[in-house]
Structure 1
Amino acid sequence: MATARIYQRMKNAMQSGRARTDLWMLEYEPAEAKQPDPLTGWAGSGDTRQQLRLGFPTLEAATAYAEREGIAYHVVPAPERVLKLQAYADNFR
């Protein structure tokens, strides 16, 4: 049986805004380990579910989909936002 994890997207370190961080993603756990291809040396596996990533507007919608489709899942809690408050003058201390 396939297992999946449901998580909320985090802000990329290269982003200044928070666009699309409110989406909840459903992503399948890898069923088999990746192995190097003997010809090219690239890592790959026969598990095509790793290529699938579904987005949902809410956590409830993602869990409802997983339950409706019979997918075992676990929810990864969203990390708390930590604000680093500092003044411009702190750069010159």
Structure 2
Amino acid sequence: MKARIFQKPKNAMQSGRAGTQRWMLEFAPAEARKADPLMGWAGSGDTRRQLRLGFASRDEALAYAARNGIEAEVVPTPARTLKIQAYADNFR
């Protein structure tokens, strides 16, 4: 059973950073999705794909994975780049 541990990114539609300090554990897909013959929707029998666990810190997520025998990969958080702008820059 494989999983990835990552820090939840900021939503593109929000200006604040609420909820971005949480660390998430998400399982890798165990089987490929296939089209349903009747409706054509994509689906699979893998129920762990629907599960996302949240933790307060990276160490808590790693401890949970080790305690439950989950092979976890930590994805590093990308560095934030700030684009400093002023309203006056619109008229240059």
**TM-score if structure 1 supplies the norm length?**
0.96
Match of 1:51 in 2: 50
Runs (4 or more) in structure 1 with deviation over 4 Å come to none
User: Structure 2: 5+ residue runs without aligned partners?
Assistant: none
State the distance in 2 between where 1:33 and 1:86 align: 44
Amino acid at match of 1:79: P
Deviations 1:9-56 (A, max 9, x none): 000111111110000000000011111111111110000000000000
Give the root-mean-square deviation of aligned CA atoms: 0.6
Which of 47-56 and 83-92 deviates more? 83-92
Percent identity over the alignment?
67
Match of 1:71 in 2: 70
State the distance in 2 between where 1:22 and 1:28 align: 20
State the distance in 1 between where 2:36 and 2:91 align: 52
User: Structure 1: 5+ residue runs without aligned partners?
Assistant: none
